[in-house]
Homo-oligomer: A and B are copies of this chain.
Amino acid sequence: MIQFEIEARNNNSRAGVLHTPDGSIHTPVFMPVGTLATVKGMTTEEIKELGAEIILGNTYHLHLRPGDSVIRKMGGLQKFMNWDRPILTDSGGFQIFSLAKLLNLNEEGVIIRSHIDGSKIKLTPEISIAIQQNLGSTIMMCLDECLELPASRQEVERSAGLTAKWARRSKEASLNESDVFKEQALFGIIQGGHELDLREQSMHQIVEIGFDGYAVGGLSVGEAKEEMYNVAHHITPKMPAEKPRYLMGVGDPADLLEGIEAGIDMFDCVMPTRNARNGMLFTSHGKISIKQSRFRQDPEPLDAECECPTCKNYSRAYLQHLYKSGEILGVRLNTYHNLFFFISLVKQARKAIIEKRYLKFKKEFLKKFNSQ
């Protein structure tokens, strides 16, 4: 089973190592998103070269395509996609409440309509665990309700309560070893919207059940940054100190640094990969859009301070040309660069924590990043 070891602390920030049967993960860690058994545009060799120690797979997407039973027959998600390091799978919860059409939600679970072929799909805590067991991920997540905000206090409380009930059923389902082909960890998810006392209440409910790690869900869904930061700073230090803490679906560079300051250990976000495909690139001096005409004949690298192959080998003019021509290589070079940026940022943060200068590091990084 997984074991979490904290190497260094700097105020609320932590630098740790999460030992798993599939390999060790140095935290804080950024997990690239590999929705459909591929981090879009990248090979797993490249993901390793980038220094990623864990990636995320999407249960809902993989259940639809190619189907988790196919993946199990092919030896599990890791073998299927040729990735021999840890994988975390989400529960499908987020997609249920965003991408798919929700037909029915009750205590038992949900009925949704597939965004691919319109077929009806039932998802319950037990089914989500069964799918994740077929995928054979290193870390599974409990199914949770991702409530659309703003919502009434009463609604937030009801929803967090349902999430807690589902969490208990998820844990029970995970303990049934009849159909399991590997040992898998399970994380619980704390909900509770933006109300700090409801967040605490949700945390107590989830922690009481007992999981291998705890996630903060339902943030970075359109609320003001201050609101997200407020919740993160309030709840994170109260979460069990000896377990990994995961802030789901977050975020941009400033969000990552804020989360690390609050004591978060794990992050995932589609931002570096999705933005790369749209030509939005992260540099040490801020974001740039490679489409802009000022780059048409610009022989300089994207970021002169970046050590990635995109910046070492190609000009902004070339990246713009590839983007404008719709060339796949453009997606590749952009994705590589953005992931390199995110992974390097978190690695630098880790180093700063160990060297007890995290807040200084954060301040200097953001000053430069926001200087443009």
Which residues of A does B touch, CB under 8 Å? 36-38, 40-43, 45, 65-66, 70, 73-75, 80-82, 296-297, 299, 309, 313-315, 317-318, 320-322, 324-325, 327-329, 331-333
Q: How many Å lie between the Cα of A299 and that of B73 in the bound state?
A: 9
The closest CB in chain B to the CB of A328 belongs to B41
Asked if residues B324 and A332 are in contact (CB atoms below 8 Å), the reply is no
Contact A329:B38 (CB < 8 A) given known A65-B321, A74-B318: yes
Query: Which of B40, B73, B82, B329 contacts A41 (CB under 8 A)?
Result: B329
Asked if residues A73 and B37 are in contact (CB atoms below 8 Å), the reply is no
- Sampled A-B contacts (26; CB under 8 Å): A36-B322, A36-B325, A37-B318, A38-B322, A38-B327, A38-B329, A40-B328, A41-B329, A42-B329, A43-B329, A43-B332, A66-B296, A66-B321, A66-B325, A70-B296, A70-B317, A74-B297, A74-B317, A75-B299, A80-B315, A80-B321, A81-B318, A82-B314, A82-B318, A328-B328, A328-B332
Q: How many Å lie between the Cα of A296 and that of B69 in the bound state?
A: 12
Q: Which residues of B contact A73 (CB under 8 A)?
A: 297, 299
Q: How many Å lie between the Cα of A322 and that of B5 in the bound state?
A: 37
Q: Which residues of B contact A75 (CB under 8 A)?
A: 299
Q: Which residues of B contact A37 (CB under 8 A)?
A: 318, 321
Asked if residues A324 and B74 are in contact (CB atoms below 8 Å), the reply is no
Q: How many Å lie between the Cα of A317 and that of B299 in the bound state?
A: 42
The closest CB in chain B to the CB of A321 belongs to B66
Asked if residues A328 and B331 are in contact (CB atoms below 8 Å), the reply is yes
Contact A299:B74 (CB < 8 A) given known A80-B317, A327-B36: yes
Asked if residues A40 and B327 are in contact (CB atoms below 8 Å), the reply is yes
Q: Which residues of B contact A299 (CB under 8 A)?
A: 73-75
The closest CB in chain B to the CB of A69 belongs to B297
Q: Which residues of B contact A74 (CB under 8 A)?
A: 297, 299, 315, 317-318
Asked if residues A297 and B327 are in contact (CB atoms below 8 Å), the reply is no
Asked if residues B327 and A80 are in contact (CB atoms below 8 Å), the reply is no
Q: Which residues of B contact A70 (CB under 8 A)?
A: 296-297, 317, 321
Q: Which residues of B contact A82 (CB under 8 A)?
A: 313-314, 318
Q: A35 to chain B: closest CB distance in Å?
A: 9
Q: How many Å lie between the Cα of A315 and that of B71 in the bound state?
A: 11
Q: How many Å lie between the Cα of A315 and that of B37 in the bound state?
A: 13
Query: Which of B65, B318, B329, B332 contacts A325 (CB under 8 A)?
Result: B65
Q: How many Å lie between the Cα of A327 and that of B37 in the bound state?
A: 10
Q: How many Å lie between the Cα of A77 and that of B317 in the bound state?
A: 12
Q: A251 to chain B: closest CB distance in Å?
A: 24
Q: A27 to chain B: closest CB distance in Å?
A: 27
Q: How many Å lie between the Cα of A333 and that of B37 in the bound state?
A: 14
Q: A329 to chain B: closest CB distance in Å?
A: 4
Q: Which residues of B contact A41 (CB under 8 A)?
A: 328-329, 332
Q: Which residues of B contact A333 (CB under 8 A)?
A: 43
The closest CB in chain B to the CB of A299 belongs to B74
The closest CB in chain B to the CB of A66 belongs to B321
Q: Which residues of B contact A43 (CB under 8 A)?
A: 329, 332-333
Q: A46 to chain B: closest CB distance in Å?
A: 10
Q: A290 to chain B: closest CB distance in Å?
A: 13
Q: How many Å lie between the Cα of A324 and that of B329 in the bound state?
A: 20
